[in-house]
Structures are given as structure tokens and as C-alpha cells.
Amino acid sequence: MTVSVGIGPVGFDDVVAVAREDAQVALSEEAAAAIDTSRVEIEALANDPTPVYGVSTGFGALATRHIPKESRTQLQRSLIRSHAAGSGPEVEREVIRAMMLLRLSTLATGRTGVRRDTAQAYADLISAGLTPVVHEYGSLGCSGDLAPLAHVALSVMGEGYVRTRTGELKPSAHALAEHGLSPVTLAEKEGLALINGTDGMLGQLVLALTDLDDLLRLADVAASMSVEGQLGTDRVFAADLQHLRPHPGQAVAAANMTRLLANSPIIASHQTPDCTRVQDAYSLRCAPQVAGAARDTAAHARAVAERELASVIDNPVVTLDGRVESNGNFHGAPVGYVLDFLAIVVADVASISERRTDRFLDANRSHGLNPFLAYDPGVDSGHMIAQYTQAGIVSELKRLANPASVDSIPSSAMQEDHVSMGWSSARKLRRAVDGLTTVLAIEVLTAARGLDMRMPLSPSPATGAVIGVVRERVEGPGPDRFLAPEIAAVVAMARSGALVRAAEGVVGPLN
């Protein structure tokens, strides 16, 4: 697959294809022409005796110094070398590839003033499967994701290190040569254009939203299994009740759960006149309200991401009428805010999931199930400690929900005196999404065991299909077994989408 990068925005599917599916990249002719046109403006300014920021001056707090023409190649090289100052663990390959694509997308607009060869070098690096080594720390999310993007630019210059498609670590110069690629010698303005972007945080936002689309459907599946296994009612999910509070996400979640629980013999078994239960606990009854609010927050975040994908993030920029103007569009606040919003959402969806799991394990609340779903209570502990694992993750997710975007730290001799910390918001959201995946998987694993212990009553066709997939890797109720591999197996199913696909095989696509 090849993703064409033109003067318009790339889409979510393009980002995912390049980041996760190893798609190649091609620069469109329209984009190449736009790049050539704006470069003419930059070269004219480079020959002008009047200083222009980023073209013939230093950077940041050093912008007052006019740089003579003979020193400007060194100026650009020094900018990239000095800004490639990241530290800590290596950032994931998919994040770096997304970041490279998004920087190329901005270059392709023709509003940054780079040369065609420099933009093409990014496309070539992506298509060759060479991924620059980028480190965890170094971005404050203002003036762009400076250090992460500088590490990428360093590799384009033939310096630093890359990992090959197979993960082998190589000096950039050697890897470029092996693929028939030449290092780029940066000209005026190009160093800034390669690092002044929100591409790192934006790429991680796009990937997180892609994952959350799947995880919120899984949350509906898990909640349905818990409602059923704990002898709850599906009446509270009726469409007319949702219409009384018309949040769109809530209606979607409730409709999903209604379909998932349709034709459940377990639910039908206790919908009788002599049933004394009046209301289910909040973690069961309010599942659509929580998962629905999560969807609505994700929808807002997606709108921000789509606007950012359509943006030109650089400073200075070449305007449509040929002016070169400084601006503040590199500030990461819009992206940082929604990354933090999503971390709150993830923590709460995980929190309600853990509460539903806990209800299965308490004999005082599980309506007839063995304590801790143990096969032989006292001898066996069942899923007691699986809930501890959930609780530990949920506690961590609550800490990760604390916003990074309010924690500005001034830098660059107070020239950059308010920063977004959006990269930090993105990094903690990635960890939070991984945690939510595990929490939901443990709820499914526990609910499957609880539903099996309701036999001879059988679950709905949809939830029964999910149990069937789980049972392909994990045995049913019995004496205690080594539980960690079983959790890992269901986490893998959650991550691959197998659990949701099993349910959708019965009820059709979930929303």
C-alpha cells in the first residue's frame, strides 16, 4: 500500500497505514510544485540584507543575531544537532512513523519553504522502513515536539541512528547508503521546518483514538456480560429511556448493550413477578452513561485531531501571498488538552469495569455465585487476585489522568515562557490505553467464568460467542491454575479485536 501525500491533509486511515501497516509514501506532483514555489520566496529572503527569523537569524532567544550567508548551512546543522537532545527509553516505531508522515504532510503544503529534495527524503525514509531512534523525553510541546522531530531530522542528515524494518540498530549514514539514499544538507529555513510541529503528540492522538474506537465497543461487550452474569436487567437500556437524556454516545452504548443481551435465557430467567430486586448497582445500570460520555469526549478529540491534521504547523510560514511570517501555531495546547481529556475518560471506563468485576467475586453481591468464583472456596482462590491486578492498573490510570497540559515549565531564557506539555500528555495516554485493554480483558475473563457457573442457564447468543472465543485459549471453571498466562491470552484477544468480532458475528457491527 502507498499513501499519497499532497497539499491537503492525510487522514486517520493514512496515519494508521503508515504507522502500523508499513505502508509506503509518495509525494504528489501537486505538493512538489507547491514546495518549489514557496522555496523561491525563501531564497529571495535569504539574499535580502534585512534579517528574517529562521532564514538569516539564530533561533529562540538567539533570534536577534543576523547570520552571514556562509554560515547558514552550519546554522541549520547546528540547530538539528543541538535539538536532538532526547533521553530515556526509545519511543515506539509506530509513533515515530506517524510523526514522520505528519511532518511530511506539513512540508507538502508548500507553506514551510523547504526544498523538494528535503521533503522527498522524508518520504524515502518512511518507504525504506528506516525508523530514526527517538527518545521518551525532550519535548515540552511548544515550538513543536522539538527533540523528537530533531532526532528524525538528524537521521535525514545522515547522523544519529535508525532501526531497520527488522529492528536492527544501525548508524543512519550506513542505513541510508544500504538503501541507496543520500543524506540531506539542509539549507536556509529547513532546520526549523523539520522540527516546528505538533506531529509527535498528534500522531499519538490519532493512534489512541483508533484504539479507543475498538476498546469502547469492548467495554459494551464486557458490561453486557457482567449485567447478564450478575442477574441484572436490560430494561434500563431501552431506547426511550436514553432519549430522555439525549447524549449521542449514551444512546450508542445502550443500543449496543441491548443488542448484545437480546435473547438471553439468563436474563429471562429472573424477569418474573416474584423477583424482589428493584434496581441494579450503578456499575451495571449506568454503564451506557459512562461509556457514552467516553464516546462523546472521544468525538470531540477526533474533531480536534482532524483540524490539526488539516493545519500547517511551522514558524515562520510562507503565506499564500508569499509573505514569510512568524506565528504561534506550533503551540500544542489544543492537542494537549484533548489528550488529557482522554486520559480521564480511560481511567473512568477502567474504573467502572473494575467495579463490575469485583461484584462477581463478593458472595454477598453476586447472587448465588461461589466466593471469588472459586471452584472449591477455601482451597481455591478463584479470581481474587485478578481483581487486585485490575485495581492496581486502575489506580495507576487515575494517576495518569492528572493533566500534563496545566504544567507549563518556561524555557529558552523565558522566550518560550508558556509550553503545552502535549507530548507528555500523549505519552501517558498511550500507557493508559494499554492499561484499559488489560482491565477490560480481565472483566471479560471473569464474566465468562461467572456465566459458565450459571449453567444450566445459558447466556445470550452474542455473549456466548465471546465466551466461546475465550474458551479456545482458556479453560472453563475448575481448580486454580496459573492465572497470568490466561489473563495474557485474553488481553491479546482484546488487543486484536477478536472478542468484539465474536460478538459482532452474532449481532452485526457494533457502533
Cβ neighbours around 171 below 10 Å, total:
14
C-alpha cell belonging to residue 343: 486520559
What are the phi and psi torsion angles at 88 (to 5°)?
95, -170
Q: Is 38 helix (H, G, I), strand (E, B) or coil?
A: helix
For residue 171, the surrounding DSSP H or E stretch is strand 169-171
Tell me how far apart the alpha carbons of residues 267 and 228 are, in angstroms, rounded to a whole number.
6
Cβ–Cβ under 8 Å, residues 381 and 458: no
Cβ–Cβ under 8 Å, residues 210 and 493: no
Within 8 A by CB and 6+ apart from 367, the residues are: 230, 231
Q: Closest Cα to residue 7, out of 311, 379, 365, 335?
A: 311
Tell me how far apart the alpha carbons of residues 491 and 325 are, in angstroms, rounded to a whole number.
49
Q: Is 336 helix (H, G, I), strand (E, B) or coil?
A: helix
Query: Would you call 53 a catalytic residue per the annotation?
Result: yes
Q: What is the 3-state secondary structure (H, E, C) of 255-317?
A: HHHHHHCCCCHHHHHCCCCCCCCCCCCHHHHCHHHHHHHHHHHHHHHHHHHHHHHCCCCCCCE
How are beta strands 169-171 and 135-137 bridged, if at all?
unpaired
CA 226 vs CA 111, 232, 353, 437, 438: distances in Å: 53, 8, 9, 17, 16
CA 502 to the chain's CA centroid: 24
Which listed residue (53, 122, 161, 337) is catalytic?
53
> How would you class 479 by CB atoms within 10 Å of its CB: exposed for 0-12, middle for 13-18, buried for 19 or more?
exposed
Active centre residues (catalytic): 53
